[in-house]
Amino acid sequence: MSGIKGRFAPTPSGNMHIGNAFCYLLAWLSARSQGGKLVLRFEDCDLMRMRPEAVAQTFSDLRWLGLDWDEGPADEKRGGPYFQSCRTEIYEKYFDELRARGAVYPCFCSRQDVRLAAAPHPGEGGAVYPGTCRALRDDEIAARAKRRPPAWRLRLEDEEIVFTDALCGEQRCAIARERGDFPIRRSDGVFCYQFTTALDDALMGVSEVVRSRDLLDSTPWQIYVQRLFGFSPPRFLHIPMILDEEGRRMAKRDFALSLREIRRFYSPEEVLGQLGWLAGLRDSYRPCTLPELLSGFSWERLPSDDIVLPRELFARCAE
């Protein structure tokens, strides 16, 4: 598969945790094993949630592990900007195209309105939107806009999105019925994740997306957006999640399992050995190097189920 391009797409809202490192390592190994390239971009549209210091920490953590990239913020002229917060004009262009095509409409519903109207039919991340504002007349839109600014939803056609995830197999989603018209722009003007991520992957030429399995449900939406503009979706690989001993997913609030903290007690080679063992690439978690992991890399060795992090693996952090 020549010409493959993968990506790192961190959200700088906190310190990178061990689950992020696991994902980025596998993305790096997959791309490099195919002679491919990697893009680094920061998904920071929602500036209220972002922490500027987390950007510098992410650069530091990736370099500490030896995970390099070919395109990113240091080379903005090539295919950037590589910060979503600097790509608003690009998103505006595609949003305006959708408005001109009648593919989006203003929505004045609150989250509570959607939940109450759609219950008991939960969708990804909440309730399936029932189409309350889908057919508002121009005078109704004008009257409601005087009271509150609208969000904007994508008007979905009744079709089935079918794709094959390289790890999770065939996926089918009757997107309009199962997900409902989804927001692509919030009422405060911020563009939404599904829209920006789908566009960025397409415009940056990303052909392989390696990410955590908890984002598998986002994929039909992103494929739908890409196809609206004539883009071909990338190859998707949704990897098992790293869980703590209580079965909870890793989160940026878990400071003890952040790379920033782990680096105080472990060397890069130790962490790579531990991550390689979790990925099934090593028969023990002895220290190793990136070239050693690359030489034995195979997606077939990755566990199929979510991975519970053994307490002893980063025990020094708790001492």
Buried b (16+ CB within 10 A) or exposed e, 201-210: bbebebbbbb
The answer to whether residue 137 scores a pLDDT higher than 90 is yes
Residues near 29 by Cβ (< 8 Å), separated by ≥ 6?
Answer: 293, 294, 297
The answer to whether residue 253 scores a pLDDT higher than 60 is no
Q: What share of the chain has pLDDT > 90, as a percent?
A: 73
How much is the pLDDT for 75? Answer: 72
How much is the pLDDT for 121? Answer: 38
> What is the H or E stretch that residue 45 is in?
none
C-alpha 317/C-alpha 306 separation (Å) is 23
Confidence of residue 317 (pLDDT cuts 50, 70, 90): confident
The answer to whether residue 83 scores a pLDDT higher than 60 is yes
Whether residue 105 contacts residue 136, with contact meaning beta carbons closer than 8 Å, is answered with: yes
Name the one residue in this structure whose structure tokens are 């500036």. Answer: 47
C-alpha 185/C-alpha 168 separation (Å) is 30
Give the tens place of pLDDT for each residue, 95-105.
999 999 999 99
How much is the pLDDT for 246? Answer: 76
Q: What is the mean pLDDT of residues 169-192?
A: 93
Give the tens place of pLDDT for each residue, 41-78.
999 887 777 788 889 999 999 999 999 999 999 776 66
Domains of the chain, start order: 5-75+260-318 (3.40.50.620), 88-206+210-239 (3.40.50.620)
Confidence of residue 122 (pLDDT cuts 50, 70, 90): very low
Q: What is the mean pLDDT of residues 2-13?
A: 89
Confidence of residue 124 (pLDDT cuts 50, 70, 90): very low
How much is the pLDDT for 264? Answer: 92
The answer to whether residue 255 scores a pLDDT higher than 70 is no
C-alpha 193/C-alpha 184 separation (Å) is 8
How much is the pLDDT for 248? Answer: 79
How much is the pLDDT for 146? Answer: 94
C-alpha 216/C-alpha 168 separation (Å) is 9
Question: Strand 307-308 vs strand 242-243: parallel, antiparallel, or unpaired?
Answer: parallel
Give the global pTM: 0.91
How much is the pLDDT for 249? Answer: 77
Dihedral (CA of 173, 214, 180, 50) sign: negative
Average model confidence (pLDDT) across the chain: 90
- DSSP string across 237-288: EEEPPEE-TTSPBP-TT-GGGBHHHHTTT--HHHHHHHHHHHTTS-SS----
The answer to whether residue 118 scores a pLDDT higher than 60 is no
How much is the pLDDT for 123? Answer: 42
How much is the pLDDT for 25? Answer: 98
The better pLDDT of the pair 158, 27 is held by 27
